[in-house]
Each structure stands twice: as C-alpha cells, then as structure tokens.
C-alpha cells in the first residue's frame, strides 16, 4: 500500500484518541471502524494527516500507552483487517495515517517482560534492572537505587522478587522502561516501526522518545526528582538516527514527544541534515499556569511568560533550522478553551467561549510549524467539570488526588485541582450530536460525556457560518493556500505597554506579510502600531473588523499585506 506523500510544512495533523472518538459497536469504547466512519468529516475539515493513539493490545493501565503487543490490534478496537481498511479509505481521501510508537517502555504483560520474569537472561537484558541500596544480599530489596520519581507519583523503581532486582518505570508501575543500551532492543524497536510502515502507515509519533537514553551513571538528583538527569540523554541523537535509518522512515512525517527538553536539543532533533525527526513537541508553553512549577498547584496563566516561550521557541527553532509542532491540546492536556478563560457562554456564538476558542486557534495555526488539531478542538470542547473523583478514570489523576489528600488538601480542593489538570479533561468522548451518548456511542460510554455536548457538537457546527468548526476549516485552508504561512519567516512584535496580555508576531515571505495579534485579556486593550494600516483582515475571532489600534476581549486577528 503506497504511502501518502505531503510536504509537512503546509500540512495539518488531526489527533484521534481512539478510545473516545467513535464507537461503532455500542460497547462504549471507540474503535477503528468508528474512525473509518468519520473520515468524510476529517476530509471536510481539510486535515492532511490522521494521528491515531495506541490501539495495540494493552491492559489499559495508562490508556493504551502500556503496550503488551506492538504488532497486533486490541480486540476492543477491532482487527488488523479493520486497520488496513482504515488506511485504504483514508488514502482515498488524501489523508495520511500516523501511528503512536511507545518505545520507551512496555507493559508488564508484554511477552518480553513475562519472559524476563521467567528467568530468561536475554529478556532480562531488555529492561533496566538494578540492585537496591543497602541490600544485604539476594532476597533483600534494600532501598530504591535512586531518588527518581515516576511521572504519575511515587518512586520510579519497583522491587520485583521474581527478578531479584528493582526495575525502572518512569511512568506507571506497570510500564517497565526498556534498556536502549541493548542493541537487541534497538533492533526490535526498529522492526516494530517497519512492520507498521509495511501496513501503509504514512508517519509516526514517538511517545516520550527523549527519555530512551538514560544517564551513564545512575545517581540521586539533588535538585529534583530525576527528570533533568534522564531527559535528552547522552546517546539520544545516536539512537534516533539509528532508528530512523533502520526503519526506513527518513522521508516520512515523524514527530517526537519531548519531555522536559530544551531548545538546543530540539533543533538537533528536527533539522533536516541530522536525519532524526521532522518536528518535535515541547510543553513549556503549557506550564504557564503551574504555581511554583507544579502541575497540581493552580494559578492564572502568566501570559507574559507564554509570550516569552513562544518567542524563544519560534525564533530559536527558526535560527537553528528546526521545526515546531504547534498545539494547545492533546490526550494528556486539559482543554485550552477552559484553561485560558472560555468558561462563559459555552456553545454560544459571540460569547467569551467563542472568542477564546477562535483566538487560541489563530494564535498557534498561523505560527511557523505544523499545527495539530486534537479531536474536539475544532468544536470548542471544554473540560467536563466532574462532581466526584469516582468519575475520573486516569491513573495519574487518581494517584495525585490521593497524594494531594495526604499532603493536607481537603477533598473539595483536590477535586477542584483535578478538574483543572486531569488528563481525562481531554479524553471525554467526542461530541458528535446533542443526543444521549453524544453520537459517540449507543451504549454506556467508558468515560462520562460532558453536559456541554448539548450545545457543543459537530451537528450544530459543521457547515454553519461563523461556527468554531468553520473557523478551523478556514485556518487550515489558509495554510494550504498561502506560502507565507506554510514557509514564511517569523518575528515577534511588541504590542506595547498597554497590551501586556497580547501576543503579536509577523510572518513574511518575499513581499507578503501577515501580522497576527491575539489578546488573552478579558478586557479591551490598546495596542501599539503594528504596521497594519490599510491591510486586509485575513481572519479574526469576531464577526467584524477590530477597532483601530485596539483589541476587544479575547480577540485574535490576522492582517495580510
């Protein structure tokens, strides 16, 4: 099956969290045939690539990112024939298919780990096993080898009596990390990628891939919980070049999820001459509302800091020849519309919700990079606002809820925090209609559907002039039609002292110039002269043109000249 070939500079990717996209058989869980049934919707939106989150066999401790078999389809999602049908039908519509590759760790139920537990030395060498500190000998675990924390709370080490060792898990305890210093592990991972390439896949997203190279020496982190020691490790660029070459994917769209990364490494990951990846995800811009740097402590978004981060990464990647993936939401993030002020007038055109959602889309879609639309972004989906911790399903959420209680927060405060931060905020079922089940399922959904589906849904928006869907469709069309957006240079602009919550930048290519100004302010503000007098409004978040020298609350606008 021939792969789709597109220039990623002018492309837009749509991410599907398959479990929550469309359920074709009424069991309450999204599946591959459900995705296939919605390809015309994606074609109408105009996207170029469809990124599918993991559908491989999994015990679902971490939403499918705990893989027990890399070369199969979990029966909950369908069959290999269903997958091949999806690829074929997507290709008919000119849409490429991207897969998620989770190669940092496996599930404890993967054959490799089970054979390690059974004592096979070959497979013990696939994982990172260490003796405990202070151990008196075999059978005595001692203490964890280092003070590193896992991403979901608690130690990153688990004592396993059947191994007689501690194993490293940077994520859930059910996700032991693979040892990429082992050439067999690297070869196996390359063969996994090649297997799916041979099934007609057009691109790959690599999960937390900058964590695959661990430090040469395992030691305590005296300034934190280890992340700075094992992100962007000593052999990461070597491993990525080897993976890309062995799997034969150097000409395909590839993106790496980079946890706790830095600009210099992301330039190297993505500049074409290094033959590593097409682009990278970084997450610094989504931490501007972390009080004290903690995800689980709330504060209002720091827009001045947000502007600094965008400037650093946009202009820095440009200077180094790298390429950004552009996004607000994904399966691990709360909904940006809620996060940046769109709680009021949900579903109502001309409301704060409407203006915030459209402004956020303008802000990132017109930057330099490849935009990613997460399912429901184009509808303006919002956080569900659950009234009980029992309604959440995410392992990170339930772990940290308990941690917050143990740290002294009351149940009401802990629930307020998880309602802002939980990964389940982005995993609620896709809202296709206002009917019971939101058009997602005829059965009982695996995760409760938000009440907002009665107003925010595809049936209410597709083809409706001025809707959020049509706004996204217009932005995607602009990237396809205007080289200045797809390939132009970027430079950030000063909107002036009266506009501290405005992010402004320009894109230029030859004689073409596009100026973008986005206000994250709930109040009107005056802006400095951006050189747009007499310019044509290309797109805006309001139905009419902005007043001269000013922006209205949560207004985003782009001018072209």
- Report d(CA 80, CA 521) in Å as an integer: 49
- Report d(CA 560, CA 512) in Å as an integer: 7
CB 335 within 8 A of CB 425: yes
- Cβ neighbors of 397 (< 8 A, separation 6 or more) are 389, 418, 421, 422, 423, 424
CB 52 within 8 A of CB 98: yes
| Centroid of chain to Cα 91 | 24
Q: How many CA atoms within 13 Å lie on the side-chain side of 371?
A: 28
**E strands, 258-375, where?**
279-281, 325-326, 370-374
CA-to-CA dists, residue 226 to 191, 221, 292, 405, angstroms = 30, 5, 17, 24
Active site residues: 207, 257
Concatenated DSSP letters of 52-109? EPP-SS---TTTT-S-S-TTS--TTT--HHHHHHHHHHHHHTT-EEEEEE--SB--TT
- Report d(CA 397, CA 428) in Å as an integer: 14
Tokens linked to 181: 């210093």
Tokens linked to 154: 């608690």
Sheet of 536-540: strand order equals 489-493, 502-509, 512-519, 556-560, 536-540
Tokens linked to 319: 């200077």
The residues with which 4 forms a beta bridge, in sequence order, are none
CB 542 within 8 A of CB 552: yes
- Cβ neighbors of 289 (< 8 A, separation 6 or more) are 298, 299, 300, 301, 302, 339
CB 126 within 8 A of CB 103: no
**E strands, 390-474, where?**
none
Tokens linked to 34: 């459900």
CB 558 within 8 A of CB 537: yes
């Amino acid at each position: 099956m021939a792969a789709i070939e597109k220039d990623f500079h002018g492309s837009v990717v749509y991410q599907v969290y398959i479990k929550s996209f469309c359920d074709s058989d009424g069991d309450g869980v999204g599946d591959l045939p459900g995705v296939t049934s919605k390809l015309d919707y994606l074609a109408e939106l105009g996207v170029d690539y469809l990124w599918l989150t993991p559908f491989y066999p999994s015990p679902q401790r971490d939403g499918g990112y705990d893989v027990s078999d890399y070369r199969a389809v979990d029966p909950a999602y369908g069959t290999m024939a269903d997958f091949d049908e999806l690829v074929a039908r997507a290709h008919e519509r000119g849409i490429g298919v991207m897969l998620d590759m989770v190669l940092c760790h496996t599930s404890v139920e993967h054959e490799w780990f089970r054979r390690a537990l059974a004592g096979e030395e070959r497979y013990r060498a696939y994982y990172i096993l260490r003796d405990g500190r202070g151990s008196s000998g075999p059978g005595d675990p001692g203490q964890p080898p280092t003070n590193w924390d896992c991403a979901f709370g608690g130690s990153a080490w688990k004592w396993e009596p059947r191994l007689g060792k501690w194993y490293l898990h940077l994520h859930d305890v059910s996700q032991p990390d693979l040892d990429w210093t082992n050439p067999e592990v690297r070869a196996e991972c390359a063969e996994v990628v090649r297997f799916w390439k041979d099934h007609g896949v057009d691109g790959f997203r690599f999960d937390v891939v900058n964590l695959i190279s661990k430090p040469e020496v395992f030691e305590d982190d005296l300034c934190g919980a280890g992340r700075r020691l094992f992100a962007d490790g000593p052999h990461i660029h070597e491993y990525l070049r080897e993976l890309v070459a062995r799997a034969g994917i150097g000409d395909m769209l590839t993106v790496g999820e980079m946890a706790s990364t830095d600009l210099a490494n992301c330039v190297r990951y993505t500049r074409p001459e290094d033959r590593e990846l097409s682009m990278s995800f970084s997450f610094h811009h989504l931490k501007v509302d972390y009080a004290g740097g903690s995800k689980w402590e709330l504060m209002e978004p720091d827009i001045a800091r947000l502007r600094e981060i965008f400037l650093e990464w946009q202009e820095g990647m440009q200077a180094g020849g790298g390429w950004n993936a552009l996004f607000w939401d994904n399966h691990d993030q709360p909904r940006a519309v809620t996060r940046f002020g769109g709680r009021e007038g949900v579903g109502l055109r001309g409301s704060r919700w409407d203006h915030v959602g459209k402004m956020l889309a303008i802000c990132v879609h017109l930057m330099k990079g490849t935009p990613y639309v997460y399912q429901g972004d184009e509808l303006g989906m919002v956080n569900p606002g659950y009234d009980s911790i029992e309604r959440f399903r995410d392992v990170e959420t339930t772990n940290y809820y308990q941690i917050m209680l143990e740290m002294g927060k009351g149940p009401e405060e802990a629930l307020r925090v998880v309602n802002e931060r939980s990964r389940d905020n982005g995993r609620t079922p896709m809202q296709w209609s206002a009917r019971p089940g939101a058009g997602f399922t005829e059965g009982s959904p695996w995760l409760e559907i938000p009440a907002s589906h009665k107003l925010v849904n595809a049936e209410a928006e597709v083809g409706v002039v001025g809707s959020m869907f049509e706004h996204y469709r217009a932005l995607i069309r602009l990237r396809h039609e205007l080289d200045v957006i797809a390939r132009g240079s970027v430079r950030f602009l000063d909107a002036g002292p009266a506009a501290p919550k405005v992010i402004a930048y320009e894109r230029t290519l030859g004689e073409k110039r596009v100026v973008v100004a986005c206000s994250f302010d709930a109040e009107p503000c005056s802006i400095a002269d951006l050189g747009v007098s007499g310019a044509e409004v290309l797109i805006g978040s309001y139905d009419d043109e902005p007043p001269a020298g000013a922006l209205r609350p949560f207004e985003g606008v782009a001018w072209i000249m």
